[in-house]
Every structure is written in C-alpha cells, then in structure tokens.
Chain A
C-alpha cells in the first residue's frame, strides 16, 4: 500500500468511525492523516506477525484524541480486521476514543496530553543503553505543546543526546477552543530551537517532504529531531478545514456525511476501495446554502487579553 492510499483510507475510516459513534476530533484525525499514512507505510519498522518484535520502531500517538487515525493505520496494515474499526467508542469495544494499548500493534495508551514525549524519551534512552537499534517516534499536537511536561522532556532528550528520538508536531495551528495563537501565543520553531533540537519544517500534507524528513533523522550533533509538520485542521473536507467547530462536531447523517464522503471520493487514489460506500454517496443531499450551524464564524470567546488590547 502506498502512503497516499493509506492516508486516504485513514480519512475515510475517520469519517465513518466518528459518524457511527458520534465521536469527536475528526478535525485532528484529518490533519494528522498524511503523517500517519507516511509513517505506517514508508517509515516505521514493524512486524505484523510479531507485534512485540524487539527491533521494531517504537511509536506513540501522544495526541491520543486522534486515536481513530492509528487504529485505521494498524488495521489496514493487518494487525486486526478493519471491520472492528466500526466498534470505535461502542460498548464492549477494544477501540476507546483515545488510544488504547489493549490492541495488537499499539503498546502505549494516551489521552492525557503531554505524556508521550517523556515516555518516548525513556524508550530511546533504553534503546541506547541496551544497544538495540530502533527509533522512538512520537506524534504530538501543537495544542499539546502547552503542557509543561513536553518541555521537561525536550530538555531531557537534548541533554542525553537522544538522536534516536523523533517527535512530529501536527502543527495545525488550532486547539480545542480557538487558534493556538489566540490561546497562548507561540513561535513553534523558535521554541524547539531554544531547547536545542534538530528541527525540520515540512508541509505536513506533502508525502514527499514528510518522507525525506523522516527517512533519516541522524545528525552530526546527535540531537533529537522534531519535525514540525504544518497542517490544516480538517484537511481534505472543505467545510471542516480550519473550523474550530470540527474539533468536536461529528459528521451527522445527511449532507454532512454525504458531502464529506463525496469530497474524499473526488481525490481517491487509484487502487483503493472504499470499504463503506464503494461508489460514494448519492448526491441527493447537497450542503444547504447559508447553513450556519456547522461553522464557527459566529463563535467569539471573550478573552481577557483581547479585552485589554481593545481598551
């Protein structure tokens, strides 16, 4: 499977899983889909027949709310049947909304932000101490970088020269309630540079750029690497892109689901079969004009700093 095919399938599964469950975070699943697609085809070493293989690359999806993306990626790689993806969020399922390690192919649970990088650093350190040649990968959100524990780990990893540690920031510029810069102003690149990391900035939807950044992260100064992947929240479905509402809203039955599926079908790579709607959805339900309830442009949280500035 190519990275493009996997990324498309992650998006398609993500729409279906959140649609069926009424689950949140489709915006984050779509923004990270290309990163996950590239990782799980061209980058990560793993053995589907031996999930605990000692030589595998270690992987943590620290932005655990995008759990559907890793579930889809490993199911498509054969760790379990893709049919099980439909149980996401359901009673009795193995697929909790946030990442669970009670599944083959996943060995670390997340959901509370700021936990992944310290653990990934510990694994990278153990790899060096044990002389085992793997890389320790962690995918984080940009909002997640508000967490102080991220920066504790950033200091630690640089100090101990963990050049087998690779962090990828899904820099979609939005977090839970608003744009990142409206929440806590930040200069992402400068911040990581201040912590001494090897920094690679890429377009997080360009598979060529992602691959060339991730294929070899060794560097002469033995620094840990962070790939700042510039992304668009909701990428691939026009009415979800850069709209904070779709951090939580799920594609409802009707035009939201139909239009989402049909937009994906317009860019479906060759050789991919949509497991849910092989021919797309019938175009009977178009997006209504002047539909206000699925956009957040009227959403104006009042922030103290803005009030101060306006005075």
Chain B
C-alpha cells in the first residue's frame, strides 16, 4: 500500500511541481524513488514532527500541495495541535500519510501501535479521514486528495496488501464500496470495515459463506465524512451490522457508524469488532496481535456466529 502511494505521488509530482513530500526522517527504502525522481519536491524535516507539520502548513498557505510522511503515531498524535490549529483551521492542503495503521509494527511495541489515531483525527473539524482498504483504494485516494483543498489524514497499512476491490470506477471521498452481495440466505448480515483489515474481513466473509452464512460486505475507505447513505440503507435491509477496524472500538470507525445508525430508521443492530479499549502489551507480529485481540478472519467469524447464535 505504501509503495503504491509513493508511486502515485511520483506520477502526480511529475505533472505538478507544487506537490511536495516532507518526511520526519522515516521511509528508508520507501521514499528513495521519490527523492531520486523529484529531488526539488522532497524535504527531510528531521525527527521533529511538530515542525514538519507547521512547515507543511506554511508551504500549503503558499500554494503547495503537501504530503507529510511518517509512521505510527508520529505524524498525528505527536503533532495533533499543529494539525488542528495550523493545518485544519487554515484549510491548508496538507495530507498526512501514516504508514503503519493498527498493529503493522506489532513487534516494535506499544509506542508503534497506531490504534487511537482514527478517533483523534476524526474529532477535528475540517479533517478528512481516509483509511484505504487495499492498494487500489490507496492509489485512487491519493490522486483525489492531492488536488482537494483542506487537510486529510491518509492512514495506510504497510506494504504487500492484496487488492480486494474488483474495480472502482470513480473514487469519491465519503463513499463506501460494496465488496460482495449477500446471497439469498436467511441471515441478514452486513459487514463494514475500514483500512487494511479489509483483507481479513474478506477472508472472514469467505469462511462464513462456506458455512452458509452470507453477508453483504462494504469497504469504507473514508471514515470522515462517513457514507450515511450506505449505513441507512443497510439499517433497513439487515438484522445485523458488524464493523471491523484495527483500532480501538472507542471513538473509531464503529463509533462513526453508531453515530449515524442511532439517528436513522431501521432495524439493524450494531456490533463493533476492534480492539476492546486496551493497550496491547503482548509482543508479536501484526497477524499474531490481530489473532490475540480477535480481529483476524477467524476472530471475526467467531464474533459474528456468536452474535447471530449459530
């Protein structure tokens, strides 16, 4: 996903010299193609994220289309006030790229788990929050946000995610994309996910389908603004809506769905699948930690079956 985004940025940057990439001294082996191709549009701001974000705001106020880059919580929580006051409040075209949403850097420890970032960024007015589910969504989102005014948070996974979406004709900020239809089965279930947990969610849907439990599946690359249309439609058509996120269930994607769901007509009952409001003290890879907290494919299947009583 991250390589796709950088590749996309290079193509955009070649056509538009106002596109600029600033890193907080991270991106070894990832950003090299960018700085080699577009050396005059690349800045290493050093290990200083508050300044990086303030500088990005200053550049954007002078007409640049800026992307800041770092990993985990460094480009967001470390400089949250700069994002709020300097970028969002001034409608600056600053796009914050986080590599490592969720447990990507699992073994590195709690400092590197980005598991509350969606909630924090979602709380800021005039900040768009995009968590692409696969490389296709990531590419299309990057192309759109580069030329969209205002401040955007682009939360990526790592490298090597599979493409899940068959095709997306037109990427629109705020729109959810249907991954699969529910077959004509007795259980009425919709499953929503945001971010790179899409792959696990799809796997879970495959398993459920094999067991005769079909679900309509959506990927929500945009958490803010959220696709109210899909939510209210599903609220009427399904008995259950499950949300899946590699993030704390407090304040994140599931909460965003709940906010809409509780104010619209419908029958669907919501169940949020995510990290159940704790810091992970266990050591292990992303897939190990996903399994530990129950957000891998099998964990999602168990949760769904437990709720619907199968």
**Chain A bound to chain B:** yes
Chain A interface, number of residues (Cβ within 8 angstroms): 32
Q: Mark A99-118, 1 if CB is under 8 A from B, else 0.
A: 00100000111111011011
Check: A263 CB closer than 8 A to any chain B CB.
Answer: no
Check: A74 CB closer than 8 A to any chain B CB.
Answer: no
CB nearest neighbor in B for A110: B85
CB distance from A223 to the nearest CB of B (A): 17
- Bound CA–CA A128/B85 (angstroms): 24
CB nearest neighbor in B for A127: B62
Report B-chain residues with C-beta under 8 Å of the C-beta of A101: 90
A119 and B50: CB pair below 8 A? no
A129 and B40: CB pair below 8 A? yes
Check: A85 CB closer than 8 A to any chain B CB.
Answer: no
CB nearest neighbor in A for B20: A129
- Bound CA–CA A124/B55 (angstroms): 9
Report B-chain residues with C-beta under 8 Å of the C-beta of A126: 58-59, 61-64
One of A39-47, A145-153, A212-220, A253-261 contacting the partner? A145-153
CB distance from A195 to the nearest CB of B (A): 12
The prevalent SS among residues of B at the interface is: helix
CB nearest neighbor in A for B45: A156
- Bound CA–CA A120/B62 (angstroms): 11
B59 and A118: CB pair below 8 A? no
Check: B76 CB closer than 8 A to any chain A CB.
Answer: no
A130 and B62: CB pair below 8 A? yes
Check: B137 CB closer than 8 A to any chain A CB.
Answer: no
Check: B225 CB closer than 8 A to any chain A CB.
Answer: no
Q: Interface extent on B, as a size class? A: 20 to 34
Could you tell me which residues of chain B, from 46 to 87, have a CB within 8 Å of some CB in chain A?
46, 48, 50-64, 81-82, 85-86
Name the one of A148, A153, A155 contacting B54, with C-beta atoms under 8 angstroms.
Answer: A153
Check: A125 CB closer than 8 A to any chain B CB.
Answer: yes
B85 and A149: CB pair below 8 A? no
- Bound CA–CA A237/B48 (angstroms): 41
Check: B89 CB closer than 8 A to any chain A CB.
Answer: yes
Report B-chain residues with C-beta under 8 Å of the C-beta of A115: 54, 81-82, 85-86
Task: Contacts A115-B82, A129-B40 given; indicate if A149 touches B55 (C-beta within 8 A).
Answer: no
Most chain A beta-carbon neighbours within 10 Å: one of B58, B63, B89: B58
Report A-chain residues with C-beta under 8 Å of the C-beta of B62: 122-123, 126-127, 130, 132
Task: Contacts A126-B63, A156-B48 given; indicate if A121 touches B82 (C-beta within 8 A).
Answer: no
- Bound CA–CA A200/B64 (angstroms): 32
Report A-chain residues with C-beta under 8 Å of the C-beta of B50: 114, 118, 148-149, 152
Task: Contacts A107-B61, A126-B59, A130-B62 given; indicate if A118 touches B90 (C-beta within 8 A).
Answer: no
Most chain B beta-carbon neighbours within 10 Å: one of A118, A123, A124, A160: A118
- Bound CA–CA A132/B64 (angstroms): 13
Most chain B beta-carbon neighbours within 10 Å: one of A124, A153, A160: A153
CB distance from A152 to the nearest CB of B (A): 4
Task: Contacts A126-B58, A126-B63 given; indicate if A119 touches B48 (C-beta within 8 A).
Answer: no
Task: Contacts A109-B89, A112-B81 given; indicate if A121 touches B51 (C-beta within 8 A).
Answer: yes
CB distance from A282 to the nearest CB of B (A): 44
Q: Using a CB–CB distance below 8 Å, which chain B residues touch chain A? A: 40, 43, 45-46, 48, 50-64, 81-82, 85-86, 89-90
Q: Using a CB–CB distance below 8 Å, which chain A residues touch chain B? A: 101, 107-112, 114-115, 117-127, 129-130, 132, 136, 148-149, 152-153, 155-156, 159-160
Can you name 30 A-B pairs with beta carbons within 8 Å?
Answer: A109-B89, A109-B90, A115-B54, A115-B85, A117-B54, A118-B50, A118-B53, A118-B82, A119-B54, A119-B61, A120-B58, A121-B54, A121-B58, A122-B59, A122-B61, A122-B62, A123-B61, A125-B43, A125-B58, A125-B59, A126-B59, A148-B50, A149-B48, A149-B54, A153-B54, A155-B46, A156-B48, A156-B51, A159-B46, A160-B43
